[in-house]
Each structure stands twice: as C-alpha cells, then as structure tokens.
Amino acid sequence: MIVVETKQDLINKLDSYQSHQTIGFVPTMGFLHEGHVKLIEEARKANDIVVLSIFVNPLQFGPNEDFESYPRDAERDEAIAKQAGVHVLFRPQVDEMYPEKPSYTVSVRNRVNVLCGKSRNGHFDGVATVLTKLFHLVQPNRAYFGMKDAQQVAVIDGLIKEFHFPIDLVPVSTVREEDGLAKSSRNVYLNKEERSQAPILYKSLKIAEETILNGERNKQAIIERVSSLIKTETSGIIDYIEILSYPELKELDVINGKIIIALAVKFTNARLIDNITIEI
C-alpha cells in the first residue's frame, strides 16, 4: 500500500492506472471500522485498484459540532487499510484540500431538508464540495458508500447525476454488530447502559418493515409504533422518525414503491442513525 498526502502525489500515482485499470474509490473520514472494511472488500471485488481517502472535512461540521474532537487514529487506520487490501491511501491535511477559504462550493438543494439534513444546515454542501474535489482527483470508475447513511448516499446519487460524473455509485449494506446495532465510530461514546439499549433502534425498524409488509399503509401509525418502542425501551431522545421515497427522499401520501424508514436517536454523548429500505 502506498500512502500519499498531497494532491499532486495522488495524481502522479494514479496516472499510471487510469488508462488501463479500473479504480474503486472509498472516501472516508477515518477511524475505520468493519463497515469501512466491507466497502474496501466490495471495491476489491470489482476493480483493479482500490483508493481509500481519509479526510476529516471541516466543511461538513456546523457551528455546534466540534471538528477538533472528531475521533482520529492515523496509525490504526493505516494498519486496517493495509490489511484490507487498499492500494493507495490518500491522507491529506486540511490546508492541502482547502489551501484558502473556499471561493466555490457546491450547494445541494434537493434531498437535504429531511432526516439529518433538517438539523445540519450546510452539512451536505460540505459533503458534495469535498466529493467533487475528490472525484476529480481520483477519477474512479466506481465509488463505494455505506447505506448506514442513506441520506448521504441519496445526495451523492444526485451529485453524480447532476454533474455527469462518469462514476458508478455502489451502495453497500450496513454492517451490524451481532445484536443488530449499526457499526459506527460514534458507538464508542455510548455508556454501558446505552450500549445495551441501542439495538432497539434496528429492532424497531424491522418491526416497522414487518408491519408494512403485512399490509399497513398508514404512515403515522407505523411511525408511532416505532416511537413507542424506542421511548419504552431506551433512554434516548428521538430526533426524527421518517418514512420517505428513496432515493428522492420525498414525502409520501401513500406508502408505495421504494421507501426508506429512517431514524435518529440522541443518547448522552452520541447521536445514532439507522435505516432500512423496502420495495413495496
């Protein structure tokens, strides 16, 4: 595995690959876990070269979100990436990606005013801006993102289509603990009691799925059932529970077609998100 830290070194390294080998790209903010490894494994299956980026992007953090405290472990991340079979690790510093205050950013107007986007104004502008930079630098054939953050996948789907990037978006299923909790770098912030409660989130989503597949089409009734379970079985505070079309993320009058059931729950020091998609 080769580690590069500058844009020019990345361009120079990938130049020898781009004309005759396929490139799979896995963009991350580091603190790698099994979910990231699964993305790398999927990329390896379908591509000659796997590029992994690790960059904690300041444009994604709002005024009440501490960029400085985001978990980082460069040495551990490098070891995991190498073990997983990454060929090129791109690990730039902030001043490499943003040498000056950005004069141009990408503004996302659709698919952002629901779910996490409602409370994170500008977050997906930051995601779209940094990915536009990274897509141009890496020029991958395929890009891999986890469905744990399904709204992000939907936004990236729109970004690729809007700007005609010649990239295949590959969504990868959420990796879970044995008890169903979605793998996340934020899980380390759960205390012991909260960690024992957290699997209820996925359990509630599966109950909602079963309810829909059994014929229930009243969206509010389904949401109330999920809400009741979370309030009864956990100490978490519900941020949202929503049922929307996917990937358009539009409100539904009738539950039909491909939908997403998504939720976010705040615990003491961690805000957990989870979702499932269903085809009706």
Per-residue model confidence as pLDDT tens digits over 97-127: 999 999 999 999 999 999 999 988 899 999 9
CA-CA distance, 213 to 236, in Å (whole number)? 27
**258 near 222, Cβ under 8 Å?**
no
Residue numbers belonging to the annotated binding site: 29-36, 60, 146-149, 152, 175, 183-186
pLDDT at 58: 95
Residues 24-77 pLDDT 10s: 999 999 999 999 999 999 999 999 999 999 999 999 998 877 788 888 999 999
Nearest to 4 by CA among 220, 218, 14: 14
Q: Helix (H, G, I), strand (E, B), or coil: what is residue 229? A: helix
Hey, what amino acid is at 171?
P
Instruction: Report the predicted TM-score, pTM, of the whole model to 2 decimal places.
Output: 0.93
What pLDDT does 20 receive? 87
pLDDT in tens, 155-213: 999 999 999 999 999 999 999 999 999 988 789 899 999 999 999 999 999 999 999 99
- φ, ψ of residue 31 in degrees (nearest 5): 50, 60
The domains of the chain, with CATH numbers, are 2-172 (3.40.50.620), 185-272 (3.30.1300.10)
- As to burial, measured by CB atoms within 10 angstroms (0-12 exposed, 13-18 middle, 19+ buried), residue 244 is buried
Compute the distance between CA of residue 247 and CA of residue 243 in angstroms, rounded to an integer: 12
- Residue 16 pLDDT grade (very low, low, confident, very high; cuts 50, 70, 90): confident
* Average pLDDT of span 238-247: 97
Residues that constitute the known binding site for (R)-pantoate: 60, 152
**What tokens appear for 35 in the block?**
């979910």
User: What is the C-alpha to C-alpha distance for residues 195 and 65, in angstroms, rounded to an integer?
Assistant: 22
Measured in residues, the chain has a length of: 280
Catalytic residues: 36
